[in-house]
Chain A
Amino acid sequence: MSLNDPLDRRPLSRRTMLQSLGAVGLIAGADRLLPDWARSGAVAGPRPALVPRTINGESVHELDVATTRLRIDGRATTATTINGTVPGPLIRLREGSEAVLRVRNHLEQDTSIHWHGLLVPSGMDGVPGLSFPGIAPGEMFEYRFAVGQAGTYWYHSHSGLQEQLGHYGPLVIDPADPYPHAFDREFTVVLSDWTFESPYRILDRLKKQPDYFNFQRRTVGDFFRDVAQEGFMPTLRDRMMWSSMRMNPTDITDVTGATYSFLLNGLAAEDNWTGIFRPGERVLLRIINAAAGSYFDVRVPGVPMTVVGVSGQYVEPVETEEFRIAIAETYDVIVQLPDDRPYTIFAEAMDRSGFAAGTLATQAGQRGELPSRRRRPTLSMMDMGMSMGMDHAGMPGMGGGAMGTGTRRAPPGDEHAGHDMPAGAVTPPTKPLRAPGTLPEASTHGRDRHGVGNAMTPMNLQSRLAEPGAGLGEDGRRVLVYTDLRALSARADFRAPLREVELHLTGNMERFMWAIDGVPFRDAAPIEFTFGERLRLTLVNDTMMNHPMHLHGMWMELENGHGDRCPRVHTVNVKPSEKVSLLVTADAPGRWAFHCHVLLHMEVGMFREVRVSGAGHTGHEGDHRAD
C-alpha cells in the first residue's frame, strides 16, 4: 500500500498552490485565469481523505452540507455539497473502530446522510422518517456507530432529490486484517451524473412525456436499415410486437445524456481526472456508482481488470475486461499497468448517451485515448419475458456461452430448475424451499397483474444472472456477470431460509408510476421480518427497466448458484423480466428502507419499509438514538 507515497501528494500540493494563487487572483480580479477545476473544488487528481478532528480525545469527522456555487463540466452552477465539493470528501474509517461523524446542515431545508452499505443501528442509518427525523436547517446531527466491516462504500442524502444535486461521496473502511490481494496503489473512482436542470423539473417532465430525454428512439430510418439487414417480415414483426405491447425497446434509462453530464470524481471527461502511477504497478480502483439515474459499463482499455470486491465484500478474484455497475453498487478492481503510458478509465452510460472518463497516467498532463463509442442497445424478447421455454437456471453456461462472458461462466447445476411450479404461484408454504444458494427456478407470472400502475407482466420469469445485460458483451470482450462472483470465503452461518418473501417490481412508464407490487410507498404497509429469521427475498422485475434494489441494515446474499460462496451485496441489479433471489438474515432490529436506487423511481414510491421486530424487539429501535 502506498497511501503515503509522495506521488499521491503531488496533485495535492499542486492544488494547494493553485488555491493560494486563487486567493491572490481574487484580489487581482484574475480568478478567471485559473482552470475550471481549480475553482470548482473538484481537483483533477485524487483528493486526500477527510482528516478527522480530535475532540475530547475522539476522532470526529466533520461534514458540512451546504449550497455552493461551483463549476461542473465547464459551467457555473449551484450544487448541494458536502464540505464544499462534489463529490463530498473521501471518508476513511477503520474496521473495529467507532466512527463519529458530525453533519451540520447549512441548507434551508432538511438533509440527511445515509451510509450506503454500512451495517449500523437503525437510528444511525440516516433515512428521514424511518431511522431519524432528519437534520433540520442549522442543526447538527452526530452519527456514532461501531465499524464492523471493511471495504468500499459511499454515502449520500436520503432527503428528497438532494442526491441528484451533488450530495454524495465515497467512504472507505480499511480492514483490520491485511488485504487478501496485493496492490501498490489505490484510487477511489466515483461515477455520477449531473444535470443543470432541477431534478424536480425533470420528474415533472417525465410525468408528462415519459420519453422526454430519449433521443435514441427507433426512427423510420432505422426501420429501413433493419429491413436491409434483417429482411422485411422479421423487421415488421419486431416492430409490431413492440408496438402491440406499447413498449419502447430503446427505453433503457429515463434520464439520459440529453441532460446529464457524466462525471468521474466530479469531473467531466474533458476535465480529465488523472491518477498517477508508476509503470508495472498494481492499482486498486474503488469504483462507486453514485449516479442518480445512470448505469455505467466500465473498462480500462488495453488491460484486464481483476474484480476483487463487490458491495465492499471480498470476492474470489475474477478477471474481466468490462463490467456493468448498477446505480449504488461498488466494485473493487485491480489493474496491472505495465507500460509508461496513460490508460483511460472509461465508463460509458448504459444507454450510450454519454460517458465519464479519467486517466491513469505516469505523469500529470497526460490524457488517455478515448475508445470509440458504441450504438445504443435495444431491449430484447428476453427483457419482455416472452422467451418461451428458455430456462437459464436449467441450462448452466448457456448465458455465458451465448454472451461470450466471464471466465467462470457455469454456476453449479441447479437440480431444482424447471417448470415444476404451478402457474403463478408464490411458493406454497407446504412445498419445501429449494436449497440455499441455488438459482431461482423459472416460472410463469401469476394472475395478479398489480393494477394500473403496472403496464406489463412478463409471461416467463427466470434467472438472468448469467447474462451481462442489454448492450454489454456484444463486442467480443470478456464481460462480468453475476454468476462470476463468489465470496472469498465460505460463510460459516450459511443456513437454509425458512420462508420466502416475493416482491414484484412494477411500473407504468406512460405515467411514470414506479412501485413494488403496484403500490407506492405512501400507500403500502411495511414488510415484516421477524428478528433472527432467515428468509429468502425473491424479486421479480415486471418492468422493462433495470432496477438496482438496495436493502438497508442487512446484507443480502445473492443466490447465484455458488451455495455458501454466494456473494453478499447491499445493492442488487434486477434485469427486466428477471427473477432474483437473495437470502437475508434479519439480524438488525428496527425500521429499514428497501428501495430502488434509481432516484426518481424511489421518489415516486418504489420503496418499502422493512420492519424487523419480535424476539424482544419492537421494530421501533430506530425511533431512538442508538445505545
Chain B
Amino acid sequence: MPTELSSRRAPACVRNRIAALTLFGAFWATPAMTQAPVDRAPLHEMSWGRATMLLTEVLEYAPQSAARPVLFDLIGWTGGAVHRFVLKADGSVATVGQATHGEFQALYGRLVSPFWDAQVGVRTDLRRAAGTSASRTGFLVGLQGIAPGWFELEPSLFVPTDGNVSLDFTGSYDLYLTQRLVLQPRLESSISLRDDPAFGIGRGVAGSSLGLRARYEWRREFAPYVGVVWESDFGRTAELARLAGRETSDVLMVIGLRLWR
C-alpha cells in the first residue's frame, strides 16, 4: 500500500538535517558532495515532504563604526511545505563597548496562500547598553511572503506583556545585476504605540534602517557581500536618543556573508 510505504521512514537527508537547526557550528559540517550516494534511498514518499533550512540573510561586520558591531538577521525553519516551525534572530552585538540588542522569535508558520506564510508565536527582545539591560517578551503575529513585484515582505505585530504594542516591517528586493551578482535593497522599520525608555523607543516611527547590499553568489549557499546601511531614529525615539547623548543616525559600511543550507 502506498500509504504504508510513505510511513516507512523519512528521507535520510531530512533526518540528518533535523539536528542541524540549533547549531551554527554544524553549518558547514557536510562537505559538498562529489558523487551521489546510492544507498538508503527511500521508496516513494510522494508528498510535498519536509526540509530544514538555516539562512543568514544578514551576517555582517561594520568595521568603521565606533562600536564595531556584528549585525545579524537569521532565520531557520523546519517542516513541510505548509506547516513550519520558524526561528528568527535579528540584532547586533558590539565588539567595542556593550551595546547589544536582539529580537528572538519562535513561531509556527502556515502557508495560507501560495505566496504567504502566516506566523504566530513568541518574541523576546533583549537590550544592553552602558551597564543597563532590559528585556521584554510577548506574543507575535505576522506574515512573511512575496508581494506582487517580487518584494519579500515581513510585517508583524508584537504585543509584549507590558502592552507597548509595536508594528514591525521588513522588506527586501533581489535585483540580479548578473547571474551571480545580486543587489539587495532592504528596509526595516518599526512603529511603537508608546514610549519605552528602557528600550530607547519612542512613540511613533521608532527607527528605520535602509541597507543596500551587493552579494556575489559564489555558490547559491555561499554569498559574500559588501553593503552600506543607513540607520536613523525618528520623532520621539530620536529625542530620547539625543537626551541620552546618542547619535540619532549613522551610516555603516558593512562586509558580510549570506549563507544557507
Give chain A's interface secondary structure class: mixed
Shortest Cβ gap from A112 to chain B (Å): 9
Cβ-closest chain A residue relative to B146? A246
B179 touches A77 (CB 8 A): no
From known contacts A196-B34, A208-B53, A243-B150, infer whether A219 and B178 are also in contact, taking CB-CB under 8 Å. yes
Count residues on chain A whose CB falls below 8 Å from chain B CBs.
Answer: 68
B5 touches A220 (CB 8 A): no
Interface residues of A in 147-167 (CB under 8 A from B): 158-162, 164-165
Q: Which residues of B have CB within 8 Å of A203?
A: 13, 49
B51 touches A208 (CB 8 A): yes
B13 touches A204 (CB 8 A): yes
A455 touches B13 (CB 8 A): no
Shortest Cβ gap from A418 to chain B (Å): 31
Interface residues of A in 20-72 (CB under 8 A from B): 67
A217 touches B33 (CB 8 A): no
Q: Which of A327-335, A507-515, A547-555 contacts B (4 or more CB under 8 A)?
A: A507-515
From known contacts A208-B53, A243-B148, infer whether A78 and B36 are also in contact, taking CB-CB under 8 Å. yes
From known contacts A78-B38, A134-B43, infer whether A455 and B48 are also in contact, taking CB-CB under 8 Å. no
The CA of A217 and the CA of B17, in the complex, are separated in Å by 29
Interface residues of A in 285-343 (CB under 8 A from B): none
From known contacts A196-B34, A244-B149, infer whether A108 and B46 are also in contact, taking CB-CB under 8 Å. no
Q: Does A453 contact B (CB under 8 A)?
A: yes
Q: Does A218 contact B (CB under 8 A)?
A: yes
Q: Does A215 contact B (CB under 8 A)?
A: yes
Select one of A109, A158, A510 contacting B115, CB under 8 A: A510
Q: Which of B106-114, B121-129, B184-192 contacts A (4 or more CB under 8 A)?
A: B106-114
A165 touches B38 (CB 8 A): yes
Q: Which residues of B have CB within 8 Å of A77?
A: 34-36
A604 touches B48 (CB 8 A): yes
The CA of A208 and the CA of B50, in the complex, are separated in Å by 10
Select one of A78, A221, A512 contacting B178, CB under 8 A: A221
B44 touches A128 (CB 8 A): yes
From known contacts A162-B41, A453-B81, A512-B81, infer whether A604 and B49 are also in contact, taking CB-CB under 8 Å. yes
A78 touches B49 (CB 8 A): no
The CA of A455 and the CA of B116, in the complex, are separated in Å by 11
Cβ-closest chain A residue relative to B49? A604
A521 touches B114 (CB 8 A): no
A160 touches B149 (CB 8 A): no
Shortest Cβ gap from B193 to chain A (Å): 33
B35 touches A160 (CB 8 A): no
Cβ-closest chain B residue relative to A219? B176
Q: Which residues of B have CB within 8 Å of A215?
A: 179-180
Q: Does A459 contact B (CB under 8 A)?
A: no
Q: Which residues of B have CB within 8 Å of A160?
A: 41-44
A604 touches B220 (CB 8 A): no
A452 touches B111 (CB 8 A): yes
From known contacts A200-B13, A604-B49, infer whether A510 and B146 are also in contact, taking CB-CB under 8 Å. yes
* Per-position binary interface string of chain A over residues 595-625, scored 1 when its CB falls under 8 Å from any chain B CB and 0 otherwise: 0000000111101010000000000000000
Count residues on chain B whose CB falls below 8 Å from chain A CBs.
Answer: 49
Q: Does B132 contact A (CB under 8 A)?
A: no
Give chain B's interface secondary structure class: loop
Most chain A CB neighbours (cut-off 10 Å) among B4, B40, B81? B81
Q: Does A201 contact B (CB under 8 A)?
A: yes
Shortest Cβ gap from B190 to chain A (Å): 26
Q: Does A489 contact B (CB under 8 A)?
A: no
Shortest Cβ gap from B92 to chain A (Å): 26
Cβ-closest chain B residue relative to A159? B43
The CA of A605 and the CA of B146, in the complex, are separated in Å by 24
Q: Which residues of A have CB within 8 Å of B178?
A: 219, 221
Q: Does B85 contact A (CB under 8 A)?
A: no
Cβ-closest chain B residue relative to A80? B38
Select one of B2, B11, B51, B176 contacting A609, CB under 8 A: B2
Select one of B11, B37, B39, B47 contacting A523, CB under 8 A: B47
Q: Which residues of A have CB within 8 Å of B47?
A: 520-523, 604-605
Q: Which residues of A have CB within 8 Å of B36?
A: 77-79, 164-165, 195-199
The CA of A607 and the CA of B42, in the complex, are separated in Å by 17
Select one of B3, B81, B177 contacting A513, CB under 8 A: B81
A128 touches B179 (CB 8 A): no
Select one of B41, B46, B114 contacting A200, CB under 8 A: B41
Q: Does B1 contact A (CB under 8 A)?
A: yes
Cβ-closest chain B residue relative to A195? B36
The CA of A523 and the CA of B51, in the complex, are separated in Å by 19
Q: Which residues of A have CB within 8 Å of B234?
A: none
Q: Which residues of A have CB within 8 Å of B14?
A: 204
B114 touches A510 (CB 8 A): yes
A220 touches B177 (CB 8 A): yes
Q: Does A118 contact B (CB under 8 A)?
A: no
* Per-position binary interface string of chain B over residues 140-177, scored 1 when its CB falls under 8 Å from any chain A CB and 0 otherwise: 00000010111000000000000000000000000111
Q: Which residues of B have CB within 8 Å of A209?
A: 220, 260
Cβ-closest chain B residue relative to A134? B43
B35 touches A129 (CB 8 A): no
A107 touches B177 (CB 8 A): no
Q: Does A110 contact B (CB under 8 A)?
A: yes
Q: Does A427 contact B (CB under 8 A)?
A: no
Cβ-closest chain A residue relative to B6? A522
Q: Which residues of A have CB within 8 Å of B113?
A: 452
Q: Which residues of A have CB within 8 Å of B150?
A: 243, 246
The CA of A218 and the CA of B177, in the complex, are separated in Å by 9
Select one of B114, B115, B260 contacting A208, CB under 8 A: B260
Q: Does A94 contact B (CB under 8 A)?
A: no
Q: Which residues of A have CB within 8 Å of B176?
A: 217-220
Q: Does B29 contact A (CB under 8 A)?
A: no
Q: Does B18 contact A (CB under 8 A)?
A: no
Interface residues of A in 455-471 (CB under 8 A from B): 455-456
Q: Does A545 contact B (CB under 8 A)?
A: no
* Per-position binary interface string of chain A over residues 182-207, scored 1 when its CB falls under 8 Å from any chain B CB and 0 otherwise: 00000000000001111111011101
Q: Which residues of A have CB within 8 Å of B43?
A: 109-110, 128-129, 134, 159-160
B48 touches A513 (CB 8 A): yes
The CA of A107 and the CA of B175, in the complex, are separated in Å by 46
A605 touches B46 (CB 8 A): yes
A452 touches B177 (CB 8 A): no
Cβ-closest chain A residue relative to B116? A452
Q: Which residues of A have CB within 8 Å of B103?
A: none
Q: Does B243 contact A (CB under 8 A)?
A: no
Shortest Cβ gap from B9 to chain A (Å): 11
Cβ-closest chain B residue relative to A606? B46
Select one of B33, B81, B82 contacting A197, CB under 8 A: B33
Q: Does A380 contact B (CB under 8 A)?
A: no
Q: Can you report 29 residue pairs joining A to B where beta carbons are below 8 Å apart? A: A77-B35, A77-B36, A78-B35, A78-B37, A128-B43, A160-B43, A162-B38, A164-B36, A201-B13, A201-B33, A203-B13, A203-B49, A204-B13, A204-B17, A207-B51, A209-B220, A216-B179, A217-B176, A452-B113, A453-B48, A454-B114, A455-B115, A508-B81, A522-B47, A523-B47, A603-B44, A604-B46, A604-B48, A607-B44
Given contact pairs A197-B33, A203-B49, A246-B150, enumerate 15 new A-B contacts (beta carbons under 8 Å): A78-B35, A78-B37, A109-B42, A128-B5, A128-B44, A159-B41, A198-B33, A200-B41, A201-B33, A217-B176, A220-B176, A244-B148, A513-B81, A603-B45, A604-B46
Top 9 closest pairs, chain A to chain B, by CB:
A522-B47, A160-B41, A455-B114, A521-B46, A129-B2, A244-B148, A207-B51, A129-B5, A108-B39
